[in-house]
Amino acid sequence: MKEFNIQSVDKSLQTSIQEKIDNLNKPKGSLGRLEELALQICLIQHTLEPSLAHPCHLLLGGDHGIEREGVSVSPREVTWQQMINFTLGGGGVNMFCRQHGFKLRIVDVGVDYDFSAVPGIIDRKIARGTKNFLYEPAMTEEEFDRAIMVGVELVDDCIQEGCRVFCIGEMGIANTSPSSIWMHFFGNIPLAECIGAGAGLDTPGIRHKYEVLSKAVDNFKNSHLSTLNSQLSTLNFQLSPLRYFGGFEMVAAIGAMLRAAEQHLIILVDGFIMTACAVAAIKLYPAAQDYMIFTHCGDESGHKKMLDIVGAKPLLQLGLRLGEGTGALCAFPIIDSAVRMMNEMNNFQNAKITKYF
């Protein structure tokens, strides 16, 4: 896997940033989370005048071999059908990107469909879906490395256009399954507490999903027992569940997050699947969390527990479970308000208002 040079944010301006926030013409602390966001964004960009220039949204698509085991209420063809729908502007992600001025990039990282005749989809296909991790690793080491690099290259394209803030959405039927397993491993949380309804499974469906994933985890542990015992805290161990269970779109998202952190971009994290990717990125490079804003906690079982793994405090709880990065896009006006607060509010001295604290 590519090595990243991710440094914690430079805090040398923190006192100056906080003084600017405290001297805006408002009671100290009265803008609550906006003040926390403003401080974080200013530290990320190392400035007292932050910018949200050229926001980008990556929509990554990939299919999963585990879908063949009936762990999702939706069939795999919904992945490619929705990808085409996105090119026509008809998805939730399209609406929110238009509303908030995000440039949308629709990317095929591993969908089980030939999009060669479909304009508007960026071709980064690694394979037509991952293998079935109930029986074998979802991807090879070479495929894993390529997926990481797809994410890196996509972020570099955004940076060339002047992007300072970006978010990621996903389209991949059954991708709550690998997300649940990653949560189990990286949070040391019982697998049953990590598994939910996904796109709409009923109680028997959730039970079946648990049985399938439990068997897959047992197979993995049995085949990696010596690794688990000897390398529990090493990078090598952390990579193993990512490659064994992950989807191409999910691994590409990790690569994108790590590259964005390396380049000091603001990363908006949404949804159960993208939170799983963010947790994985943080486990690999803890400093990456400095650059992440967790935007939404959905209704998927275990999402709050997964946020708790890294102590994340989401901005919104709207009951969204669409995926596609829609929660991050919905939260963008709040982030925009924090930046506008820093750049547009007057201070006590200029406004000739007595500072009363």
Cα distance between residue 245 and residue 181, in whole Å: 8
Cα distance between residue 145 and residue 347, in whole Å: 49
* Residues designated as active site: 324
pLDDT of residue 321: 81
Residue 85 structure tokens: 């729908």
CA distances from 165 to 73, 116, 276, 278, 292 (A): 34, 30, 20, 16, 10
What is residue 154's DSSP assignment?
H
Residue 293: exposure state from Cβ atoms within 10 A (0-12, 13-18, ≥19): buried
Domains of the chain: 56-335 (3.40.50.10210)
Supply the pLDDT for residue 320.
86
Q: Whole-prediction pTM value?
A: 0.94
Confirm if 241 and 277 have CB atoms less than 8 A apart.
Answer: no
Task: Render each residue's pLDDT in the chain as its tens digit; 357 residues.
Answer: 899 999 999 999 999 999 999 999 999 999 999 999 999 999 999 999 999 999 999 999 999 999 999 999 899 999 999 999 999 999 999 999 999 999 999 999 999 999 999 999 999 999 999 999 999 999 999 999 999 999 999 999 999 999 999 999 999 999 999 999 999 999 999 999 999 776 678 888 899 999 999 999 999 988 775 555 555 445 565 678 999 999 999 999 999 999 999 999 999 999 899 999 999 999 999 999 999 999 999 876 689 999 999 999 999 999 888 889 999 999 999 999 999 999 999 987 887 777 766
Beta bridge mates, 59 = 106, 169
Question: According to the model, what pLDDT value does residue 235 have?
Answer: 54
Q: What is the pLDDT of residue 302?
A: 85
Q: CA 317, CA 271: separation in Å to the nearest integer?
A: 10
Give the per-residue pLDDT at 159. Answer: 98
Q: How far is CA 3 from CA 115, 244, 258, 259, 337, in A?
A: 32, 20, 10, 10, 35
Q: Which two tokens stand for residue 225?
A: 């027992």
How far apart (Å, rounded) are the C-alpha atoms in residues 349 and 220?
63
Q: Which of 64, 52, 255, 89 is nearest to 178 (CA)?
A: 64
Position 238 scores a pLDDT of 63
Q: What is the pLDDT of residue 73?
A: 87
User: What's the alpha-carbon Rg for the chain, to the nearest Å?
Assistant: 21
Please tell me the predicted confidence (pLDDT) of residue 77: 97
- The Cα 177–Cα 201 span in angstroms is 12
Separate counts of helices (H) and strands (E) for the chain: 14, 6
